[in-house]
Amino acid sequence: MGREIERKFLLVGDAWRDAATEHVPMSQGYIARSDRTSVRVRLAGERAWLNVKSGGFVASRQEFEYPIPAADARELLALATGPLIEKTRHIVHYQGFEWEIDEFHGASSGLVVAEIELDDEAQVFPRPAWIGAEVTHLARYYNVNMVNYPYSAWTEAERRGS
């Protein structure tokens, strides 16, 4: 069984940009969603994946991810419910940990979220100065919810992580 342990954070400033080593544009869409599970297709250049995740807005969830041909991903994205999520993923390495920083475009333009994958929910990790409030347990920060409730619709309090 696959398991993803991931925590999400807001960012403080743009200092992380100078440390980014990769910048990957991505499109993703959901071909099935429920309270218990989501099925997502992600296209990053000519690489693509089919992903199944258990529901819940917690740090640890079941996750199964399978590479698929990019041509298949483009066809599956046409079947997605709701608009596609468009973003650029920036990779930043900090003191032995890899941070994935997602900069959203389209209806969620202006939102930038940092994620870190861990081996254990209680794992201690160094926090760079550019890491702000944790938003792991706030449903609106999950891509699956941004399809119907994009950043452009959020209140100022929601944008601050409240």
Query: Which region, left, alpha or beta, applies to residue 132 given φ > 0 means left and ψ of -120 to 50 means alpha?
Result: beta
Beta strand 60-68 with 47-54 is: antiparallel
> Residue 48: which of 26, 33, 20 has the closest Cα?
26
Active-site hit among 30, 94, 141, 142? 30
Beta strand 3-11 with 20-33 is: unpaired
| 142 in catalytic set | no
In degrees rounded to 5, what are phi and psi of residue 106? 65, -135
Catalytic positions are 30
